[in-house]
Amino acid sequence: MAPSRDAPDAGLTWRMLATAVLVALVYAAAVLPAFLAGPVWGAIAAAAAALLAVVSARASDRLALYAMGGRPVTPDEEPELHAVLDRLCMSSGLPKPRLAVSSLDTPNAFAAGSGPGSAVVCVTAGLRSRLDPAEIAAVLAHETAHVANRDVLVGAVASFPGLCAGLFLRWWTGLITGWNRYGAGRAAAMAAGVLLLPLGAAAAVLYGVGTLVGLALSRHRELCADSTGALLTGRPSDLASALGKISDGVRGASRDDLRALRPVSALCVVGARGRGASGLLSSHPPLERRRERLSALSWRLASGG
């Protein structure tokens, strides 16, 4: 990307580093049982985890568009949105991502894809109708920053151990409860579940820790995209205003729109889920914090900092 004029945020940098270390520890915990079985099995497990995480990230654009009912659009269909995206890509030096639109009335937008060469940026009909052109440009700049930072790939890699632990936990729970089994098969399954109790407990811990670490990383990446996107337009106040309007729209969204948004909530500029326990269970930082950072950035730009 083009060089940033933003002063480094030491606190955010250290939090990102600490989260990256936690992600590495989660991966180590996920593959440790395989290494205990032998170095060959450990190497196979590590390679399989990395491969599946990359495959998951590469399929994210198609899955996200399907969930949102999005469709790619050409410059003839959406000349204004394409023009904004063209300007942003010229400023950032990025290859232009595909542009898609969704018919959802709730204002929101997301970027998906494993990197700049395979990315797609999608906006909803509600976003285009509720935001003014400068605010739409600010949102597209935020999503362009996600593309530049390969945040979808980073998120997929970070969340993959927790996902695997969750799948194992579901399978183990089915064993120990004898779900959908009868007679001797039920007794055998429950006995196997008891024998695997230590692994089930470890999977539960890994699932919880992996989920929290993935959400923490997502919140940090959102703050980075806010700053980078605001610098692309040079108008942080436009993004702050857009975030407020989108948050209001999400709060007043219909059940059908929320149902469509939830599978891709972590990718959206404003999440469709609650803040959870003091934000720990949220994929996005609180709106107030995002606005405060954007206000500080606006002041620095105005003062020539």
pLDDT in tens, 190-237: 888 888 888 888 878 878 887 887 888 889 899 999 999 999 999 999
- Residue 3 placed within a domain: no
- Residue 192 placed within a domain: yes
CA distance 78 to 125: 12
- Residue 153 placed within a domain: yes
Q: What is the pLDDT of residue 53?
A: 65
- Residue 165 placed within a domain: yes
- Residue 140 placed within a domain: yes
Q: Which of 77, 80, 135, 143 is catalytic?
A: 143
Find the domain containing 57 and state its range: 10-302
80 is written with which tokens?
A: 């204004």
CB-hemisphere CA count at 13 Å for 65?
18
Q: Where are the alpha helices (DSSP H) in 132-235?
A: 133-148, 151-177, 183-195, 197-233
CA distance 104 to 224: 27
Say if residue 12's pLDDT is above 60. Answer: no
Question: Model's pTM, two decimal places?
Answer: 0.77
- Residue 5 placed within a domain: no
- Residue 277 placed within a domain: yes
Q: Is 143 a catalytic residue?
A: yes
Q: What is the pLDDT of residue 14?
A: 62
- Residue 4 placed within a domain: no
Number of domains in the chain: 1
Break the chain down into helix, strand, coil percent, rounded to 5.
Answer: 70, 5, 25
